[in-house]
């Protein structure tokens, strides 16, 4: 079993996102979760299955996204390089990282050929060290990537040496578990959120394996600390929540709630409860293994 977690640059029009998720499901993979965010203008689809089924599901999701969406109409606070921004593969039952790397390369080659889409391999599937992380690919977003594409060292792994007119580009890769975890602050001061993000970010000496941004949620008039926990064995949900809470308290700011984007492995939960991380609803429904068990897989 392999997990695929595509991020789509559309978080407002539910009918279109559901059509895109249904295109993946029609290949036989099991869609476990669809998470939409209007401020990030982004949706995260989580599906699982055997490698050949997941391969077909990823290609169909990209095909449907290109057919239904246009990057030229997109405005959102989350950095992105394409209509389908990123397509990671994660090894689950009886699968290895090598399986996911091979799958990323097959899907990358296929979508480049079928849709004239520039494909950059990232994470463990990366062919160049500078492309392992998404930050280098997303720097400057579409405009920045368009400029880098003029340089020989930024030739895509597959596809044309130019952006697709309506779909941009896509990053396809293989990685370990990653948890997208957002905390909404009781303030509209986005500079405070950016300060907290800077303090908890691993690259600034904060929590190991934590990437963080401070963002403004225009629909709510509130600031948010948006995090990726890229090494859940070192820093899990509770440690990340407590660190943000501590930094916010020092600034006289409260925490309204947290949000898990997509699903998380049980290993990231630790002793956390919904109450301990200010998460509305049932934490169990955000646990990957729980959702797989519910589906009797």
User: Which pLDDT belongs to residue 136?
Assistant: 86
Q: How many CA atoms lie within 13 A of 206 on its CB side?
A: 26
Q: What is the C-alpha separation between 286 and 14, in angstroms, rounded?
A: 20
2-174 is classed CATH 3.30.990.10: yes
User: Which pLDDT belongs to residue 224?
Assistant: 97
DSSP state for residue 283 in the 8-state scheme: G
Q: 195 near 87, Cβ under 8 Å?
A: no
pTM (two decimals): 0.94
Q: Collapsing DSSP states into helix, strand and coil, what is residue 2? A: strand
Parallel, antiparallel or unpaired: strands 84-91 and 170-174: parallel
Q: 48 near 2, Cβ under 8 Å?
A: yes
Exposure string over 22-44, b if 16+ CB within 10 A, otherwise e: ebbbebebbbbbbbbbbbbbbbb
Per-residue model confidence as pLDDT tens for the chain (297 residues): 999 999 999 999 999 999 999 999 999 999 999 999 998 899 999 999 999 999 999 999 999 999 999 988 887 777 889 999 999 999 999 999 999 999 999 999 999 999 999 999 999 999 999 889 888 888 888 889 999 999 988 999 999 999 999 999 999 999 999 999 999 999 999 999 999 999 999 999 999 999 999 999 999 999 999 999 999 999 999 999 999 999 999 999 999 999 999 999 999 998 999 999 999 989 999 999 999 999 887
CA distances 199 to 39, 73, 159, 191, 228, Å, are 23, 34, 39, 12, 14
Q: Where are the domains of the chain?
A: 2-174, 179-294
Nearest to 76 by CA among 36, 38, 41, 44: 41
Residues with a catalytic annotation lie at 78
Superfamily grouping for domain 179-294 = Formiminotransferase, C-terminal subdomain (3.30.70.670)
The dihedral over CA atoms of 197, 203, 207, 212, expressed in degrees to the nearest 10, equals 30
User: Which pLDDT belongs to residue 288?
Assistant: 96
User: Which pLDDT belongs to residue 142?
Assistant: 86
User: Which pLDDT belongs to residue 76?
Assistant: 77
Q: What is the C-alpha separation between 80 and 82, in angstroms, rounded?
A: 6
């Amino acid at each position: 079993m392999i997990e695929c977690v595509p991020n789509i640059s559309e978080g407002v029009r539910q009918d279109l996102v559901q059509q895109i998720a249904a295109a993946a499901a029609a290949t036989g993979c099991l869609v476990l979760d669809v998470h939409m965010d209007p401020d990030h203008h982004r949706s995260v689809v989580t599906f699982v299955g055997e490698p050949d089924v997941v391969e077909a599901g990823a290609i169909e999701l990209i095909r449907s996204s290109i057919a239904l969406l246009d990057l030229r109409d997109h405005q959102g606070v989350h950095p992105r390089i394409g209509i389908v921004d990123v397509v990671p593969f994660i090894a689950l039952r009886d699968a290895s990282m090598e399986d996911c790397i091979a799958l990323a390369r097959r899907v990358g080659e296929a979508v480049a050929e079928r849709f004239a889409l520039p494909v950059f391999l990232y994470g463990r599937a990366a062919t160049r060290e500078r492309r392992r992380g998404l930050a280098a690919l997303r720097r400057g977003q579409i405009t920045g990537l368009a400029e880098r594409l003029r340089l020989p060292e930024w030739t895509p792994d597959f596809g044309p040496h130019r952006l697709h007119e309506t779909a941009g580009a896509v990053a396809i890769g293989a990685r370990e578990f990653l948890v997208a975890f957002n905390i909404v602050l009781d303030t509209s001061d986005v500079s405070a959120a950016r300060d907290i993000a800077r303090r908890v970010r691993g690259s600034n000496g904060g929590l190991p394996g934590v990437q963080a941004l401070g963002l403004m949620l225009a629909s709510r008039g509130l600031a948010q600390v948006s995090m990726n926990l890229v090494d859940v064995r070192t820093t899990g949900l509770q440690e990340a929540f407590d660190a943000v809470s501590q930094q916010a308290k020092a600034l006289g700011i409260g925490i309204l709630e947290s949000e898990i984007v997509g699903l998380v492995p049980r290993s990231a939960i630790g002793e956390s409860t919904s109450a301990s991380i200010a998460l509305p609803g049932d934490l169990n429904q955000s646990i990957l293994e729980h959702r797989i068990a519910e589906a009797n897989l």
